[in-house]
Amino acid sequence: MKATQSWSAIDSKLLIKEVAGRLDQPTRRAFLRQSIGLGSLVMLSDCDITDGLGAENALRAISRMNDRVQAWLFDKDRLAPEYPESAITDPFPFNAFYKQEEAPDVDPSDFALEASGLVDSKASWTLAELNQLPQVSQITRHVCIEGWSAIGQWSGIRFSDFLVRIGADRRAKYVGFKCADGYSTSIDMATALHPQTQLTLRFRNRTLPRQYGFPMKLRVPTKLGFKNPKHITTIIVTNDFPGGFWENYGYNWFSGL
């Protein structure tokens, strides 16, 4: 069955603002965590979704719509909750697309973090050099798309400060990440510049353990866990959509909380 009204006949921006404006902040966040969210409005389009290809195209359209809505609602000044040390989850759970014993064993003496794309300085960074940079700490909640959450203490470099140091073009759309375990993901520049987004080097004031991402991970408390890459080897600043490991399987790209 086809809808009787075309999506193109609707002013989508005004409709989104009207709907979102009627929700308080907690309700907005809960609503956007659902897989369809406001993106379901795209179902008003003139597309036949009774066959597999049509359904897949419709779901992709919904996901893209979700990305736009979540980006529009994202508040760069709103901080994720922080907790006391007594709230830390112990043990903090391991999570990856492989077993814990298969986590990469990175040799710190050979490690060099690469920066590429729209940056002034493409010089690599050793762990010693990274550890000499100013450090910040946070105790925040990691929220997994599988439905569990855990609180951890993370210390490292404020990512916005690191982007300034390498002369990143902060007008660029995306920051992508490649990792030693074959993982990849990407985030929007607004999230990269958020004050709590962190290039993490330590967990509970100790060198970041192998299972949690040694030599470094990205801690993004404003996004779901799969947007927090571990074992980072390369950072790419770009205007070309980088996608990501799970995103290429259909996970919602923005995935903000």
pLDDT band, very low/low/confident/very high, at 250 (cuts 50, 70, 90) = confident
Q: Domain 85-249 carries which CATH code?
A: 3.90.420.10
DSSP letter for each residue of 205-237: TEEPPGGGTTT-EEE-TTB-GGGS--SEEEEEE
Average pLDDT of span 11-25 = 45
| Secondary element (H or E) of residue 186 | strand 184-188
pTM of the predicted model, to two decimals?
0.75
The average confidence (pLDDT) of the chain is 82
List the one residue out of 246, 225, 257 whose CA is nearest residue 95. Answer: 225
Confidence (pLDDT) at 33: 47
What is the rounded CA–CA span in Å between residue 82 and residue 63? 29
DSSP letter for each residue of 110-176: T--BEEEESBS----B-HHHHHTS--EEEEEEEE-TTS-EEEEEEEEEEHHHHHHHTTB-TTSSEEE
Confidence (pLDDT) at 66: 59
Q: Where are the domains of the chain?
A: 7-73, 85-249
Q: For residue 254, count other CB atoms closer than 10 A to its CB.
A: 22
Average pLDDT of span 78-106 = 96
Confidence (pLDDT) at 59: 46
8 A C-beta contact, residue 157 and residue 135: yes
Interval 101-160: pLDDT, tens:
999 999 999 999 999 999 999 999 999 999 999 999 999 999 999 999 999 999 999 999
Interval 146-195: pLDDT, tens:
999 999 999 999 999 999 999 999 999 999 999 999 999 999 999 999 99
